[in-house]
Amino acid sequence: MVTVEDTALAVTDTGGTGRPVVYLNGSYATRKNWKKVVADLGPGFRHITFDERARGKSETSNDYSFEACLRDIDAVLAARGITEKVILVGWSYGALVAVHWADRNPDRVAGVVSADGAMPWGFTDQENLDRIRAMFAKMGPMMWLLRPLQLAARMTPDQHADVNIELNLLCAELAPVLDRLATPVRYVIATGANLGAAEEEMAAVRKSLEPCLAANPNLIVSSRVASNHSKILAKDFHAVAEAIRETAAALV
């Protein structure tokens, strides 16, 4: 466990002398989701995974903000004694965290791999933000049933809503960050729908990335895969692993 502020994070570190790869989870996901990617890559890398606050085996906190997620990366790297440049790999929410951390720490990142995340699209109108809060309020009594399915964390309904509203606002404001990134970012993009989002909506999310790809040559589409947003690490883990290999190879 790595102690940070008022909580402690469950961390797995394979050790070794290979390039450190830090994996950042989807909103309510855990370290377990990266097992196939880590196995595909093998021992040539140093794999570091951790459960975010109130997810998996990590402890709860009074702060579940996006800024707290960024600070957690700092805490994990410091605790594991990592001073060399890392490859950040993020899925969904984790990809958003990865590009923001890379933007703030360009001298500490060798590259970023995004598994169907870090795209500049999100709800900003009050009607949809209110809908998000109402949805989590309604789900409140069922939260404990949703946690094993990685559809909820050990948070209150209001905390869940706060995280998701903040996520939407940050995604909507992501384009300037992507446009200025000096760090290479390789995208593995799913093509299917997602739980709670129709295929047309997910297509609009992915299309929002196109102007950023055109504006910044550091942003590269490594592959487009057949799986949907939820299943990309389970069904197309090899494509994610290959994007990590491509990132590492470009550093040689």
Nearest Cα neighbor of 101 from 116, 86, 115 is 86
What is the reported pTM? 0.94
Where exactly are the structural domains of the chain? 2-121+173-250
For 2-121+173-250, the fitting CATH number among 3.30.1360.200, 3.40.50.1820, 3.90.650.10, 3.30.420.40 is 3.40.50.1820
User: Residues 83-117, buried b or exposed e (16+ Cβ, 10 A)?
Assistant: eebbbbbbbbbbbbbbbbbbbebeebbbbbbbbbb
pLDDT in tens, 112-148: 999 999 999 988 899 999 999 999 999 888 888 888 8
Residue 161's pLDDT band (boundaries 50, 70, 90)?
A: very high
pLDDT digits (tens, 9 = 90+) for 189-204: 998 777 666 677 788 8
Is pLDDT at 17 greater than 80 in this prediction?
yes
